[in-house]
Structure 1
């Protein structure tokens, strides 16, 4: 699959990274990084060697370090690499984490590579943007284009559906799959232009079928429609659906399902117990 222009996404991220006040736009990445870090600490074991894929400005590692600061600092090493082509040997890491891994063309292939670099009984903890993300913006732009131009084109990137996650992890070879939960993170803005301005900080649409520009009349109509989602204080919401998942690399020590037909009691008899 070749949905995204990866070279354009690289240029977008490089441009956003050198902005003097670029840290002001990291609120969503920091929030997701904090929640992924919390899920790491939910697992009662230590991880001598971990990999953060798409770490950016260390949005996950920063929160892990804050919780360990009283004990010791976590030594880290940054590697510039493509998320779709991991430059690591098989069976290397005890833990792989990833926050907002959603600009991947070959997601099944990327998950297989994550599975490969994990040691047996290693765990992958990831967060991904779900398909309902930015539905307010998507609907406003589509309705405005239909009304002003007689049709619409995609302006918001396609995202993974929640129903696909279990299948993707299973196909990649993970066992003991845990699809933990979905978080709807809602951020309020003065208007649609502020939403789109913030998205330009490394999260602009880079799909090959994107439209390069919007007509002024269409933008004005979209801004008016977006206000229909607004609250009493005049602000408008932007909803980000975040999907969290955990998958383990198989190991002989892990619990396994009982052999089919080995049950000693029937569900029919549960009421008698």
Structure 2
């Protein structure tokens, strides 16, 4: 049993792009190839809108021994994306582009939930894989409302587990000091320390039990093959009555891209292949939190609609975010430019943006909160212990 709510929002991206070179960048490859040139200029606007519910692809967790994702490939994706950002992109680009907009927006929404927990400071926090150093920036937006110091949620120290050292170094503060927690990466109301040579998804986690007041992971756990084992490790390293805050893409993510690629492949090849990773569904997240030992699970969902000028800009941004397909079942050959051009044509005609311009991409973001067991937490009444009375037995009528 878990609490569930749903909301929708819109992000609009306005870019210019060189179509031919962008089409070439869509060819899936496991090699360290540079992403071709674009000249983007991005504008942001977020408004409330409505969208019809779409079908989704869900993951199953029946067998742990099967690797769903290629972790070495995902590390390569993140490193390549970070290196391009560090050198300012390709030589032809006229300006540096911020590709962190989506991760930062979702991380801000997740961190805002810390302040919803009244009379509680999460002093020491584990950041599990959140990209772009977005968690530190989000927590340091404001000081704690409790007045006890620290950033949002009373967080004073953040320990980062980030597999890509290149990605983690993008936003480091060179003046940050080292400590026993790790290498200093940032200062402010909250300080952050990165565990050197760490891999965020290697189990067991490299910490003693009962270490952290909270564990936060934003837009990272969707690349974990053993999500059940990871959540159990999170539970272990939390202090009693500690909390986990998660944000992951859900099963209704990128249905427009999936269906466009499916139609193009069916028309050109007579078959289909895995083009996006399998995602968790809302019931998956609730069940996984409960089966991993968390109490009082709360689930809510945002459907974020992002508008791009074309499918090519969408896939370019996915690559620059380090979010290229990392499935072990991905197709590694037969990726012709003609097939991608066909998919882009289908996408542009079928999923137009507002006013008929550009295209729309839907991302379902599932937020999950769970608490490590503690005697102080609310408990349900034991079965058969609830009092049963007769209707009206407590009613008294007095006549004057």
Instruction: Flag the structure with larger Rg.
Output: 2
Counterpart among 252, 268, 274 of residue 148 in structure 1: 268
Counterpart among 60, 66, 70 of residue 5 in structure 1: 70
1:183-262 aligned within 5 A = 183-201=302-320, 202-213=322-333, 214-227=335-348, 228-231=350-353, 232-262=355-385
Following the alignment from structure 1 to structure 2, what is the Cα–Cα distance between the partners of residues 104 and 67?
31
Give, in angstroms, the shift of residue 17 of structure 1: 1.2
Give, in angstroms, the shift of residue 178 of structure 1: 1.1
My pick for the range that moved more, 62-71 or 132-141, is 62-71
- Counterpart of 1:26? 100
Helix, strand or coil at the partner of 1:241: strand
Following the alignment from structure 1 to structure 2, what is the Cα–Cα distance between the partners of residues 55 and 78?
12
Following the alignment from structure 1 to structure 2, what is the Cα–Cα distance between the partners of residues 258 and 151?
54
Give, in angstroms, the shift of residue 269 of structure 1: 4.4
Structure with greater proportional helix content:
1
Aligned residues: 270
Structure 2 contact 294–372 (Cα < 8 Å) conserved: yes
- Counterpart of 2:258? 138
- Counterpart of 2:133? 58
Structure 2 contact 100–132 (Cα < 8 Å) conserved: no
Give, in angstroms, the shift of residue 60 of structure 1: 1.9
| Structure 2: segments with no counterpart, 5+ residues | 1-65, 90-96, 151-188, 396-400
Give, in angstroms, the shift of residue 24 of structure 1: 1.3
Following the alignment from structure 1 to structure 2, what is the Cα–Cα distance between the partners of residues 234 and 56?
30
Q: Encode CA deviations 1:210-244: one digit per residue, 9 max, x unaligned.
A: 01252222112111110111033421011111000
1:33-112 aligned within 5 A = 33-44=107-118, 45-68=120-143, 73-80=189-196, 81-84=198-201, 85=203, 86-100=205-219, 101-112=221-232
Give, in angstroms, the shift of residue 124 of structure 1: 0.4
Structure 1 contact 83–104 (Cα < 8 Å) conserved: no
Structure 1 contact 33–63 (Cα < 8 Å) conserved: yes
Following the alignment from structure 2 to structure 1, what is the Cα–Cα distance between the partners of residues 103 and 126?
17
| Structure 1: segments with no counterpart, 5+ residues | none
My pick for the range that moved more, 227-236 or 126-135, is 227-236
Give, in angstroms, the shift of residue 55 of structure 1: 2.8
Coordinate RMSD, CA, aligned = 2.0
Following the alignment from structure 2 to structure 1, what is the Cα–Cα distance between the partners of residues 191 and 357?
46
Give, in angstroms, the shift of residue 265 of structure 1: 2.7
Structure 1 contact 124–246 (Cα < 8 Å) conserved: yes
